[in-house]
């Protein structure tokens, strides 16, 4: 099978970051927009080369007139491509009101709930979403502005537990080009246009200015992201080396280096709790023997050169 440049790029990215292997069973999140239709076409082609299995999950948000016809469109494309298709209708507005979250967040929560549900039901092991390089650097900028350390600056990650993003290596221009060249049909997925305030400012006002300073600014962001993905791996290795996982607690060995702070943050994430900020983390590290701090429902006790972390 001959791969186009766009597909080769994604194939190389998948291989470099060990995103998929031939035994994987991958659920693709497909809204029907150009990003996810590209994902569907590329992954359908690569499944034949690489040997993995794919299915499609489409959440019908029932938020616009075209929602049902979008669903049919994705279903029919899947039939043509002989890819199993799963869908579900949800009521985003009710969820949004009930859980007091914005419509964007409600939609995302419901989407991932549905993806995980389907993943378990099919005994699949991976979810793939169509996030691309523009999403990546927009997230990086947003994180920098809102406040992030090095770990969080990685923005979107190619593979993290079940969730994969094999298209982070291609930008929106390349996607538009790919759908045009290959006559790939797609729906105008208005959710992409209803980005929130910050993302709109970044996409339509800030990045055009970036482009004036360096027309190849996307490469700069992508390269930095790759370096940070490597850094995250190093942090995770250090966490493995320096942590002992107990029944309902964690013991962390402090080594008086830069990674102490990162490892404390990972411990919070392991308990699904929001990690402390830089100043709080410093205070934890500097506690005297026997000292105790409680942050975000997690209690931390200093024992000589170790921390006992409990929920």
Binding-site members for ATP are: 31-36
For residue 164, list its beta bridge partners: 128, 159
Taking alpha carbons only, the member of 78, 62, 74, 68 closest to residue 33 is: 74
Can you tell me which of 223, 274, 294, 303 binds its own copies, judged by CB under 8 A? 223
Can you tell me which of 12, 278, 289, 299 binds its own copies, judged by CB under 8 A? 278
User: Least distance from C-beta 255 to its own copies, angstroms?
Assistant: 11
C-alpha distances out from residue 238 to 229, 274, 300, Å: 14, 20, 19
Residue 226 within binding range of its own copies, rule CB under 8 A:
yes
Residue 292 within binding range of its own copies, rule CB under 8 A:
no
User: Least distance from C-beta 223 to its own copies, angstroms?
Assistant: 6
CA distance 210 to 160: 29
Residue 214 within binding range of its own copies, rule CB under 8 A:
yes
Q: To which residue do tokens 């709080």 refer?
A: 280
User: Least distance from C-beta 226 to its own copies, angstroms?
Assistant: 7
Residue with smaller CB distance to its own copies, 5 or 233: 233
Residue 146 within binding range of its own copies, rule CB under 8 A:
yes
Q: Which residues are known binding-site members?
A: 31-36
Report residue 191 as tokens: 């959710």
Segment interacting with its own copies (CB under 8 A) among 33-41, 106-114, 147-155, 291-299: 147-155
Q: To which residue do tokens 């490469």 refer?
A: 219
Residue 240 within binding range of its own copies, rule CB under 8 A:
no
**For the CA atoms of 211, 216, 220, 225, what is the dihedral angle to 10 degrees?**
90
Residue with smaller CB distance to its own copies, 13 or 210: 210
Can you tell me which of 230, 246, 255, 274 binds its own copies, judged by CB under 8 A? 230
Residues 6+ apart with CB under 8 A from 219: none
Residue 285 within binding range of its own copies, rule CB under 8 A:
no
Segment interacting with its own copies (CB under 8 A) among 18-26, 88-96, 145-153, 283-291: 145-153
Residue with smaller CB distance to its own copies, 49 or 277: 277
Taking alpha carbons only, the member of 44, 46, 36 closest to residue 15 is: 46
Residue 148 within binding range of its own copies, rule CB under 8 A:
yes
CA distance 115 to 117: 5
CA distance 267 to 288: 20
Q: What are phi and psi of 66, to 5 degrees?
A: -80, 0
Residue 221 within binding range of its own copies, rule CB under 8 A:
yes
Can you tell me which of 231, 251, 280, 293 binds its own copies, judged by CB under 8 A? 231
Residue 201 within binding range of its own copies, rule CB under 8 A:
yes
Residue 169: strand, helix, or coil: coil
Task: Count the site residues for its own copies by CB under 8 A.
Answer: 40
Can you tell me which of 68, 121, 173, 258 binds its own copies, judged by CB under 8 A? 258
CA distance 87 to 60: 7
CA distance 135 to 175: 12
Residue 246 within binding range of its own copies, rule CB under 8 A:
no
Full DSSP string of 255-304? -SSTHHHHHHHHHHHHTT-PPP-HHHHHHHHTPPTT-EEEETTEEEEEET
Which residue ranges make up the site for its own copies (CB under 8 A)? 142, 144-150, 153, 197-198, 201-202, 205-206, 209-210, 212-214, 217, 219-221, 223-224, 226-228, 230-231, 233-234, 237, 257-259, 261, 277-278
């Amino acid at each position: 099978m001959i791969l186009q440049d766009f597909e080769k790029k994604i194939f190389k990215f998948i291989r470099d970051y060990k995103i998929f292997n031939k035994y994987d069973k991958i659920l693709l999140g497909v809204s029907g927009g150009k990003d996810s239709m590209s994902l569907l076409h590329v992954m359908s082609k690569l499944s034949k080369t690489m040997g993995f299995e794919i299915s499609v999950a489409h959440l019908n948000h029932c938020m616009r007139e075209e929602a049902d016809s979008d669903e049919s469109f994705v279903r029919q494309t899947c039939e043509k491509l002989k890819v199993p298709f799963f869908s579900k209708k949800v009521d985003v507005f009710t969820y949004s009101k009930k859980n007091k979250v914005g419509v964007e967040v409600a939609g995302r929560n419901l989407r991932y709930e549905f993806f995980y549900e389907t993943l378990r039901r099919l005994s699949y092991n991976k979810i793939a979403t169509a996030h691309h390089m523009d999403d990546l650097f927009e997230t990086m900028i947003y994180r920098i502005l809102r406040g992030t350390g090095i770990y969080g600056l990685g923005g979107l990650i190619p593979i993290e537990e079940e969730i994969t993003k094999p298209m982070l290596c291609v930008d929106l221009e390349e996607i538009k080009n790919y759908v045009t060249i290959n006559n790939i049909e797609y729906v105008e997925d208005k959710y992409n246009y209803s980005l929130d305030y910050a993302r709109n400012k970044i996409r339509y006002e800030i990045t055009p200015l970036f482009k004036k300073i360096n027309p190849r600014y996307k490469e700069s962001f992508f390269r930095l992201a790759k370096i940070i993905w490597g850094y995250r791996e190093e942090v995770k290795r250090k966490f493995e080396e320096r942590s002992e996982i107990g029944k309902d607690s964690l013991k962390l060995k402090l080594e008086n280096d830069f990674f102490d702070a990162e490892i404390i943050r990972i411990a919070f994430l392991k308990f699904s709790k929001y990690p402390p900020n830089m100043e709080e983390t410093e205070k934890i590290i500097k506690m005297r023997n026997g000292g105790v701090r409680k942050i975000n429902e997690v209690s931390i006790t200093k024992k000589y050169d170790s921390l006992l972390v409990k929920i």
